[in-house]
Amino acid sequence: MDDFKRDDPNVITPIGSTVRRAPETIIVERERTTALWWVVGILLAAVVFGLIYILTRPADGPTDAELRVAQAEAAADNARQTAEAALVQNQISSTRDSVAIAQAQSATA
């Protein structure tokens, strides 16, 4: 405050605090990040289980040997069906020939 206002009766002079203040003590505690470690542990466990699953699962598709066996079985089945069809056609032809012979014999008799 300057000299002119010291004598002014309308000026409110600041009064010091009448209440005694106790000294403040600030305690800084370190944050606990156990939740972060739980998340890291769960993710690590998931990665380990996924890796074990990928390394121990059986092969998805058939191997080359299995494909060759399947092709050979299909070819053998096809050959069997063709042979059966030829046998049936041979029996039908034999039956027709027998009928034709019987008709010829009955016509001449």
Position 42 scores a pLDDT of 96
Position 6 scores a pLDDT of 62
Please give the Cα distance from 107 to 13 (Å, whole number): 155
Q: What is the pLDDT of residues 8-42, one digit of tens each?
A: 777 777 777 777 777 888 888 777 778 888 899 99
pTM of structure: 0.38
Q: Where are the domains of the chain?
A: 34-108
